[in-house]
Amino acid sequence: MRLDSRSKFPSGMEEYLETYGWHFSKKMCDWATSNMYKTDTNGRKNYIIPLTKSAVDDIMKRYNIKLQNQIGYDYIFAANMAMADYMGSSIEDERHLALFVKDYVDDPDGYPELPFTRFYADCVGTGNPIVWEDML
């Protein structure tokens, strides 16, 4: 059953949204990034070693890239998602990773909640439940 077929929010979700809005807390980002992986040529999952906030901040500073929508841990999630999904393919190096993060979180026709909203939509679509109480 799809997770969006409910008439009310799962337990703990309202409290999370009241506290963080549609943005990543550190706990939510840590949980989300702990599930990220690359698939090798044999189809095996290789989980990434997530970039920390400090590491992402250093990368952004190194390339003098400033974010307008640097809210919570949204940009940390975006950096790790890009590293897992695109690094070594359409993103060839750290500089391009930083540029992707800027494009993703500051998308001019997007909105500040875009990273978390898309992540949540993916969880709903894949049936990957979030234990909201654990994220508070």
Distance of CA 37 to the CA centre of its chain: 13
Task: Give the pLDDT of residue 2.
Answer: 47
pTM of the model: 0.92
For 5, residues 6+ apart whose C-beta sits below 8 A from its C-beta are: none
Report DSSP letters for 73-85, one per residue. Answer: THHHHHHHHHHHH
Taking alpha carbons only, the member of 102, 79, 80, 83 closest to residue 92 is: 83
Taking alpha carbons only, the member of 117, 115, 129 closest to residue 6 is: 129
Q: How do the pLDDT tens digits run along the chain, 136 residues long? A: 445 555 678 889 999 999 999 999 999 999 999 999 999 889 999 999 999 999 999 999 999 999 999 999 999 999 999 999 999 899 999 999 999 999 999 999 999 999 999 999 999 999 999 999 999 9
Task: Give the pLDDT of residue 115.
Answer: 97
